[in-house]
Structure 1
Amino acid sequence: MNEMLGLYPQWYVPGIGTAWVMGIIGTIHVLASHTSVGAAWLFALLATKSVHENKPEIMVYLKKYGMFLLVFSYIIGSITGPGIWYSVTVASPRGISGLIHNFVWLWASEWVFFFVEVIGVYAMVYLIGKIDNKTYLKLAWSFAVASWATMILIVPILSFMMWPGNDHWFQTGSTFDAAFNLNYFAHLGVRTAFMFAVAGAVGGIIASTLKDRETRIEITRFLSKMGLAGLVLMSFMFMWYTLTLPDNARLIMDTQMMPRYGKVLLVLLTTTALYFMFTAWKPLQLRQSMAGAMTLAIALFGLWPEERSRESMRKPYVAGQYIYSNQFFSRDVPGKGVKSDMPLIKANGVLATDYFVPADLHTITPENQLRAGSLLTHVMCANCHSLEPNGALRPLPALFGYSKEPKMIKAYLDGALYHGMVPYMPKMPLPEDEREAMAVYIASLPGGSKKPASVAINQTEIEAKGVN
């Protein structure tokens, strides 16, 4: 019996592709979770201010904000959290498996702090005025520390998904080598800064409804300063973050992400800064609709492009620069006992070595060539591309100019992808007949209404940077 690939059944969502499902759920979750972490610090700081300056009216705001937070962050966050786990597990089983095998105890520790955080938010809301101030402040700061600890413990996993930082981890397989990688502290800084900025925006939704004039002014200005501090810190942290990226991520950022999203992010950063300046100058002019619109703008024009860019920049990998987005192992990892799939694919192909391929497709014939090509294209491409001509996620037909010429498509598969020459695309050393089946299937896909794109996407920029 031939050696078999350790793959799982393919999950594909027509029209949008699998990655967008994870991306949409993840963006909502990040907004909710980062707001909760920022709000935890807001709780601690404002509770301290209330006690030390003898301003019990601030506690009125905290109670209202806490009730809002329970729905906005902890209910929505708790729903989208399992949604991420489900969508990632079915779309990227090897990716999530690799992360669990590296970070299982780190993840377990994060869940302990999250449990403390959930208890803490209920305590913050329901114990206001029911316990003495000294005890309440201890709870408030415990809540803040536990909440931030969840971020401290989850960022190593997100950073490792970008890359381990150096080759040492591939030999040791150590959790500490994986967690405290080159990208970790800069990434933590960006997310910490963002949590302050978004907490300042979301906090305004409740601050604008306060009846007491002086309290409304004081809290609105506090939120404005918190938001501005977050924006300034985020700008510096982002510059540091870009210096910690691998070559493939920096290439994608320079040639694709920044041309697409750079101006949008700059406009949003400027608009958000002006918003906080205005609310600090004219706090009584803040309206709930303004704060809601600002929060929505941060989510749609800031968080969504940022999360999508980060996901795109680590291509062709999904984790650790050893698991491709299409779930194949790209290299040996002695520290984890992982063997590259590339030699097996090159020798025997995918159809004969994937457990979940139907028996009648193990060998390609003229009668089943189109079906075989469809299966291969889904396995090799569908985690990053939609297969519909006008699909939302990098439609595959458009990348080939909606070509109906299998020879032209196969030439690209034979060259750049077979040899792994495109930095943001997985190496695909498939046998001749499997490459031909893929080309025939891709050529059979219907045309679309979008302007055709070249298969040599940004090739001049790639060559200019000398990336192979």
Structure 2
Amino acid sequence: MDFPIFHIDFIGNRMLIAVDAILHVIINHAFAVGALPVVALLELSGIRRKDARWDKLAYRLLKIIFIITTTLGALTGVGIWFSASLVNPAAIGSLIRVFFWGWFVEWIVFVSEVSLIMAYFLSWQTAGRSPEAKLMHLRLGIFLAVFSWITMAIIVAILGFMMDPGNWVTERTLMSGLFNPMYLPQLAFRTTLAMVMGGMTMICLIYLFTRHDLAFRTMVLRVISNWSGAWMLGLIVASIWYYQVIPNHMLANIPVAVTTQEYVSWNGRLKLLLIVGLFYVGRVLWLSVKRPGQVHGAKYLVSVLLLFAMLGQFERVREFIRKPFIIGNYMYANGIRVADYPLLQRDGILQHATYAGIREVTADNQISAGREVFEQTCTRCHTVNGVNSIRGQLKKMYGGKPWKSEVIAAYIENMHRARYFMPPFPGNKAELDALAIYLASLQKRAAAFNGAQINGIPMPDKISAATVYGTLPNLSITNGEHE
């Protein structure tokens, strides 16, 4: 409760992170982790066959990878840090404390990875002057591929920790956090998936770059199809392994996660579609192994799009099923530690929220206090009028009937028992009633909701920061800082 609230009501905090993170993961898996080994494989094939066409093709593929990873990949990676720090600073702060040395190593590896891809790309044209220089250049590409994988391997440990910390809850050591129960299965799943995605994505580009040399295309497709097909078999095994280690309470959340938090019957059909999608990708690879060059390029493109969609859905489900926690059994999705709940439910959340504009609920400020409680406890997942809006949820519950605050309060008090993915309400009874009164008022009054705060005072609509500063007593601005 030591941080101000950041909130964008039209898109919502979780959607802000989701859009950026999913785009980054697709780029990372398909182009950095999955495609770089393919480039090195093509370069190796060119050296062995003494055929410059392989080398030229590998260089053209690397140019695309270099541009995408150093622009969109880098920007979205930094964007994850910015958005996560804004939306849930308590969670990212806790993760940094646990994994400081892990992230320290990851940053060194990442800087090395950037240096390696620049050296690998920029030295390509001069590396062919001698066989020894070419072999040295190939080793550079192999090191680049390994470093890209190590970067992912460290981050996957943190993602697994957020789902199930395992023994860290009692041991509180870096190693127990890194080697959590979800780590190795998820790493195996992501590694094999990335290799398949990278191979299939490169095949699509190979079709584009070899349209005037069909015989050469067939040779290249045979090599890449065999590579991707082998990883596809590993992906099937890794998927089963990963699914088996997911805790039962998370498995119970999957039907909700894949249906946008609604208990509907088409969950089974969606899982069937995902299985059919993987079967389609596997069949395309099998045909490509058996008859390279004879599979229509559109089938590879459809396979790549299916893999991208599956990875996006996987990320969405993975993020959802760990709820009500953002760090399993340690911190709820609202950014409040499990251990802090008894204190907050006794004293009230407003008493301990450093940047709250209201400290106590009274008969005269119930709506304003309720809005403050909503901001502190609900806005990391919900908006008022935007994506996953609380008004939309209440409309579904009530239809056209009047919204009654006492019914809403009773529902909020017990909702975590019916819907496991919702954290328990963290405040006291007065704050619960105030929150319910505020939510009931939204049926008739749904003003725009801003989350920016200055010294505990929410930023009003269409009012400048200078105006807000002017309303604060004994406050001056010096060099951009207030005293």
Aligned: 1:224 with 2:225: yes
Q: Quote the Cα distance in structure 1 between the aligned partners of 2:15 and 2:217.
A: 40
Which position in structure 2 is the counterpart of 1:178? 177
State, as a whole percentage, how many aligned pairs show the same letter: 25
In structure 1, the residue matched to 2:474 is: none
Q: How far does residue 145 in structure 1 lie from its aligned partner after superposition? A: 1.4
Contact kept, 8 Å, 1:325 with 1:426, in 2: the verdict is: yes
Structure having the higher Rg: 2
Deviations 1:191-218 (A, max 9, x none): 0011111102220232012233232112
- Measured at CA, do residues 295 and 44 of structure 1 come closer, stay the same or move farther in structure 2, by a change above 3 Å? same
Residues 1:27 and 2:37 are matched in the alignment: no
Structure 2 match to 1:153 = 154
Answer yes or no: is the 8 Å Cα contact 2:348–2:427 preserved in 1: yes
Provide the aligned C-alpha RMSD in A: 2.4
Aligned counterpart, 1:410 = 409
The CA deviation at 1:86 is 0.5
Task: State whether structure 2 residue 339 is matched by structure 1 residue 343.
Answer: no
CA distance in 1, matches of 2:420, 2:320: 12
**Cα pair 2:164 2:328 within 8 Å, conserved:** yes
- Which residue pairs with 1:270 in the alignment? 279
Give per-residue Cα distances to partners, 1:64-104, cap 9 Å, x unaligned: 00111012223110010111100000001011111100111
Q: What is the Cα deviation at residue 445 of structure 1?
A: 2.6
Counterpart in the other structure of 1:283: 293
| 1:171 to 1:421, Cα distance in 2 relative to 1, 3 A | farther
Paired residue for 2:43?
47
Q: Which residue of 1 aligns with 2:58?
A: 62
1:117 paired to 2:118: no
Q: What are the residue-to-residue correspondences of 1:79-90 with 2, within 5 Å?
A: 79-90=75-86
- For 1:23, the aligned partner's letter is A
> 1:101-159: per-residue Cα shift (whole Å, max 9, x none)?
01111112112222222222233333335232221222122112111111221111111
**Is the Cα contact below 8 Å between 1:169 and 1:177 reproduced in 2?**
yes
**Conserved 8 A contact 1:388-1:396:** no
For structure 1, the residue ranges without an aligned partner over 5 or more in a row are 1-5, 331-339, 448-468
Counterpart AA for 1:173: R
Q: 2:202 corresponds to which residue? A: 203
Asked whether 1:191 is paired with 2:173, we answer: no
Change (3 A) 1:179 1:308: same
Q: Distance in 2 between matches of 1:400 and 1:7?
A: 34
Q: Do 2:36 and 2:145's aligned partners in 1 also have CA atoms closer than 8 Å?
A: yes
SS at match of 2:124: coil
Q: State the TM-score, normalized to the length of structure 1.
A: 0.84
Taking the aligned partners of 1:343 and 1:430, their CA distance within structure 2 comes to 9
Report if aligned partners of 2:11, 2:387 keep a CA contact under 8 Å in 1.
no
Q: Relative to 1, partners in 2 of residues 1:214 and 1:95: Cα closer, same or farther, differing over 3 Å?
A: same
Conserved 8 A contact 1:189-1:237: yes
In structure 2, the CA distance between the partners of 1:390 and 1:187, relative to structure 1 (3 Å rule), is: closer
Q: Which stretch shows the higher mean deviation, 22-31 or 50-59?
A: 50-59
Aligned counterparts of 2:443 and 2:430: Cα–Cα separation in 1? 23
**Contact 2:36 2:144 survives alignment (8 Å):** yes
**Would the alpha carbon gap of residues 367 and 146 (structure 1) be closer, same or farther in structure 2, given more than 3 Å must change?**
same
Measured in 2, the distance between the counterparts of 1:393 and 1:278 equals 49
Aligned residues of 1:194 and 1:231 also touching (Cα < 8 A) = yes
* Structure 2 residue ranges without an equivalent (≥5): 128-132, 260-265, 445-483
Alignment match of 1:325 (pick from 313, 333, 352): 333
Shift of residue 286, structure 1, vs aligned partner = 4.5
Q: Is the 8 A contact 2:254 2:317 kept in 1?
A: yes
Question: What does the per-residue CA deviation read over 1:244-272, in whole Å, with 9 as the maximum and x for residues that have no partner?
Answer: 22232121125543854423422321332
Residue type of the alignment partner of 1:20? M
- Tell whether 2:319 aligns with 1:311: yes
Displacement of 1:290 = 5.8
Name the CA distance, whole Å, in 1 between partners of 2:38 and 2:9.
Answer: 42
Equivalences for 1:239-250 in 2 at 5 Å? 239-250=240-251
CA, structure 1 residues 97+44, in 2 after alignment: closer, same or farther (shift >3 Å)? same
Q: After the TM superposition, which residues 417-432 of structure 1 pair with which residues of structure 2 at under 5 Å, given as runs?
A: 417=416, 422-432=419-429
Aligned partner letter, 2:226? K
Specify the SS of the correspondent of 1:318: strand
Following superposition, the deviation at residue 398 of structure 1 comes to: 4.9
- Residue correspondences, number: 425
| Matched position secondary structure for 2:104 | helix
Residue 478 of structure 2 corresponds to: none
* Secondary structure at 1:29 match in 2: helix
SS in 1 for 2:258: helix
* Secondary structure at 2:351 match in 1: coil
